[in-house]
Amino acid sequence: MTTPARPLDVRRLGRTEYGAAYGLQKELVAARIEGRILDTLVLTEHEPVITTGRGTPQDAGLGLELPVFEIERGGEATYHGPGQLVAYPVLELPEGRRDLHRYLRDLEEVVIGLLGEFELEGLRRGGLTGVWLGDKKICSIGVAVRRWVTYHGLAVNLHTDLAAFRGFRPCGLDADVMTRLADHVQLPPTNLLGEVLLVKHFCRVFGFELPEPQPPSTPEGSFPELPLLR
């Protein structure tokens, strides 16, 4: 018997300051725990920022004149900035999928599917979370879970300025290991195509479907409720 697909709310925020998007994540996590919202996928592109996860060494020596946020996700320090597609799933993991190792592998599979749309082979590397093209890393992943509701997520380098990684060791690795999709295929100038393909493979991997779009509303002081991707 086929399990029916679950509805997914996709929120496209455009470019955001990290602190605002982080605050939104925390609000969404609380709302999902209380059952007030659907499982939600937030898509954004940040202004330049460094985030440090629980695995970041105290002597990481970031050495960049950028805002730094210490957050509760796993992993070490990474960079977010223009040209990078960031996805924050706020999902209540159902019974049978409450395994964080499986969840990380599922997120990797989403990105591997996205890369496959460009006839590129995304790879996993033993002991290292994320997705690689050959010996170069194209996607970083770091997550947190509260009462089996996920937050934080993944970042795929599309047009990212890779020089921004050079002031520190991203994910504990040499900065030269980072790559971006634009160095391997021709891409349109915005992140929209990447967003559409990521949503497609996110729904495939996690068994979601997109509900019918609702009329947009923009309460004062909140992010706009943009139309859902179809």
Q: Which residues are catalytic?
A: 171
User: What is the rounded distance in angstroms from the CA atom of residue 115 to the CA atom of residue 99?
Assistant: 25
Q: Which residue has the tokens 């919202």?
A: 37
> CA 187, CA 159: separation in Å to the nearest integer?
8
CA–CA dist 98, 56 (Å, integer): 25
Sheet holding 78-80, edge to edge: 68-70, 49-52, 78-80
Question: Which amino acid is residue 41, in one-letter code?
Answer: L
What is residue 26's three-state secondary structure? helix
Q: Which two tokens stand for residue 91?
A: 């999902």
Both tokens of residue 156? 């795929």
Contact 144, 150 (CB under 8 A): yes
The single-letter DSSP state of residue 178 is B
What single string gives the DSSP state of each residue in 83-145? Answer: TEEEEEEE-BPPTT---HHHHHHHHHHHHHHHHHTTT---EEETTEEEEEETTEEEEEEEEEE
- Residue 103 φ/ψ, nearest 5 degrees: -60, -45
